[in-house]
Every structure is written in structure tokens, then in C-alpha cells.
Amino acid sequence: MAMKPKDPDNQPSYSRRRFLRASRATVAALGAVPMLARASDVLAATVPSSSAKVPPDYYDKLGVRKIINAAGTHTELTSAVMPPPVREAVARAALHPVHLEELQQKAGAYIAEKLKAEGCCISCGASSAITLATAASVMAANNCHPLDIPSLIGTPQFPKNEVVVQKIHRYEYDVAMQLCGIKIVDVVTLDDYRQALGPNTVMTNYFNAADAVGISREDWITAAHDKGVPCHLDAAADMPPIANLWRYTGMGFDMVSFSGGKDIRGPQNAGLLLGKKKYIDLAQSNLCPADSVGRGMKVAKEQIVGMVAAVDWLLTQTDQGMERESRERMAAIIGMLEDIPSVQTSIRARSWPIMSRT
């Protein structure tokens, strides 16, 4: 849904990276009130009961403006709103201390089983998952320790430090890989790609939502695996359909990164790295509380539990039900705005193929 002044030339634009697959999940996410199942609940939530004790609203206390998010689950718009079961799980997790590493291991194993993967590492967002995937690949290729990253990577002691990427798949998240001391090798054609997979290659990175596919996923995986090189897929915002959470690992990608705070509807500062147990275990060894490249990417106990609860909640949903809920929320937003003469609303949908966001 787009909100705009009555000026046909004033059209907001969104990159395809940041635009939701509207036929399966709407671009409207209501940020002003909790995202509930029914539009009537959304409207009722803005009017608290007179008999209820109302806790302080810290957005109001801090002078932070609440918004109606008609663009999608963008990071700068604080992504999606967690559903009630996830919020409740987060609040309950805050009541008790636990051993962080034990929680990470058991929560990851639980989610991996639910999402049909060998392993899962709950990361501090999708960008963190990309860093951890790179660190895992560097360790596997060089047989090095997490503390060797990044200072010794690319030196004569640990020379393997190349990540192969299609030139059309270069993006701002390259830095998430470069934190591990790697250098990126650009390729254009499939022949370029095969030739670039050399003795110093530690990983390949494929951007699932790039504006152009270029080399197909299938050819990309086959060529890398022929050389024994692991493939990582950045699928940060590429759910729904829900089946994408196991579709890409099923295709053969060794590691796949997802954002936890978009349509999975978990905490914004959490993500999932799914894939082969060998690499997931290495990725986990770089995550806080380890003193390595992931030390600053701490995932709190509340966010770990929130991701488990979000996956549990998500697997009770359907693609059709999620779309219906989103359209009900769009209708609620339109209803709130229809009496404002200076605002015009419209719903703009774009159909996306299940396997591609090109």
C-alpha cells in the first residue's frame, strides 16, 4: 500500500531488495499498533480499557513518533511487529538467567529440526549470519582458529581468503564478509565462475534478491561443489512463501541466511543461519560468548527464545492466511485515512515467482 499526496508525479520508489513479494506478503505492516490477526483487533488496540492499568508508553515518554508503516519490513522502519505468542515468550525469557551457550545450542538444534536443516545458528540479524557463514568457511578452508580471524587470514600462514561473487550480486552487505579478512573475486559468466574457483577460494556468495539472476542457482551450486567449495545464499527477506525456509537448503546451498525480524516475525535483532552442520558448528564457534569476529554480535536470551517462538508460530500459519491478514491490515489503514482529504491511498501489488525475486 502506498500513501501519497494527490500528485500523480509524486510516486515513492522502492528497490527490489527492499520490496516485499506482495502477492504472498503485503507491503503494508502496521507499525503504529500491534500487528494482530484481525483488523478489528488493530483498531481496538489503539483504545485501552478504562479499567485496565496502563503501563508507561516509552515511545511517548521519549518523544518518539509512532508511524504507520506502508512500505514493508525495512530495517529503518523497525521491521515487523512480533505476534502475541512471540512477545509473551520474549517477556518470559527475561525472567530467568541461563547459560547462553547452552541456550544457543539447544535453540539452534530445535529450529534446525523444525526447518529441515542439519544445523541452525541464531544470529544477530541476517548481516551477522553472513559474517558467521564467512567465518565458518574461512575456518574450514584454512583449518584455523576463530581468533585467527581476521588478522591472519590472507597471510602465508592462512592464505585461503577468496569469496567468489557474481559482479551483478555485489552489494552493501559485502562488508559483512570482509570483516573476516577475505577478498571478493568478481565473475560474470559461468566460465568465469568455474575458472575463479581456485585453491584459495573459501566460499561463494549468491544474492537471492538481486535485480538480475545471472548464473542460475543450480549451476552456481554444481560448479562450486565440483571444486569442494561451500555456497552461501543471502535470502534475508525472502520469506514467504514459508517453504523457502527449507527450499534453498534442499537445493544444495551449504548455508542460507534469513532475517528473523521480517516476515518470520521474530525480534528485529535476530536472524537464522541454516545449513550443513559442519559449517553451522564453525559459525557458532565465532558467535558471542566466543572472543572472535562475532563477539560484538551478541544475541540475548530474549531474542534467542523469541526466534524459537517465532518459528513455532510461523509453522502454524499458511501463506494464504498471512496474505489475508496483511490485506485486512491494509484495509484497516485505509479506513483510518479515508476521511483525510489531502491523502490518497492505493494498493500496488507485484507478483513474484516463488524461486526468484529478480
Asked, for residue 166, whether it belongs to a domain, the answer is yes
pLDDT at 34 over 60: no
- Residue 36 pLDDT class (50, 70, 90 cuts): very low
pLDDT at 217 over 80: yes
Note the pLDDT of residue 357: 30
Peptide bond before 241: cis, by omega within 30 degrees of 0?
yes
Note the pLDDT of residue 355: 36
pLDDT at 154 over 50: yes
Closest CA to 202 of 266, 279, 276, 271: 279
Give the C-alpha distances (Å, rounded to integers) separating 349 from 12, 239, 244, 353. 14, 16, 20, 13
Q: Please report which helix (H) or strand (E) contains residue 244, including its range.
A: helix 244-251
Note the pLDDT of residue 189: 97
Note the pLDDT of residue 294: 92
pLDDT at 147 over 80: yes
Report whether 230 contacts 216 (CB < 8 A). no
Q: Please report which helix (H) or strand (E) contains residue 258, including its range.
A: strand 255-259
232 and 334 share a domain?
no
245 and 211 share a domain?
yes
- Extract the C-alpha cell encoding 327: 490485506
pLDDT at 264 over 70: yes
Comparing 41 with 76, the larger pLDDT belongs to: 76
Asked, for residue 142, whether it belongs to a domain, the answer is yes
CA 262, CA 73: separation in Å to the nearest integer?
Answer: 5
Mean pLDDT of 38-64: 68
339 and 299 share a domain?
no
- Residue 348 pLDDT class (50, 70, 90 cuts): confident
Asked, for residue 47, whether it belongs to a domain, the answer is yes
Asked, for residue 57, whether it belongs to a domain, the answer is yes
pTM reported for the whole predicted model: 0.82
Q: Is 251 exposed, middle or buried (0-12, 13-18, 19+ CB in 10 A)?
A: middle
What residues have CB less than 8 Å from 165, skipping those under 6 apart? 174, 184, 185, 186, 187, 204, 205, 206, 207
pLDDT, tens digit, for every residue of 10-28?
Answer: 433 333 333 333 333 333 3
175 and 251 share a domain?
yes
Mean pLDDT of 141-158: 96
pLDDT at 100 over 80: yes
172 and 307 share a domain?
yes
336 and 259 share a domain?
no
214 and 308 share a domain?
yes
Give the C-alpha distances (Å, rounded to integers) separating 179 from 28, 127, 267, 325. 34, 11, 24, 39
125 and 229 share a domain?
yes
CATH number at residue 250: 3.40.640.10
Asked, for residue 265, whether it belongs to a domain, the answer is yes
Residue with cell 527490489: 16
Note the pLDDT of residue 50: 57
Give the C-alpha distances (Å, rounded to integers) separating 256 from 30, 40, 73, 168. 28, 37, 19, 19
Domain that holds residue 48: 2-78+319-346
Mean pLDDT of 179-202: 97
Asked, for residue 115, whether it belongs to a domain, the answer is yes
Note the pLDDT of residue 267: 94
224 and 269 share a domain?
yes
CA 128 distance to own-chain centroid? 10
- Residue 130 pLDDT class (50, 70, 90 cuts): very high
Note the pLDDT of residue 351: 44
Structural domains counted in the chain: 2
- Residue 349 pLDDT class (50, 70, 90 cuts): low
Rg (CA), the chain: 21
62 and 197 share a domain?
no
CA 23, CA 314: separation in Å to the nearest integer?
Answer: 18
179 and 328 share a domain?
no
CA 211, CA 32: separation in Å to the nearest integer?
Answer: 31
Asked, for residue 255, whether it belongs to a domain, the answer is yes
Average pLDDT, the chain: 85
231 and 197 share a domain?
yes
Note the pLDDT of residue 52: 67
Asked, for residue 136, whether it belongs to a domain, the answer is yes
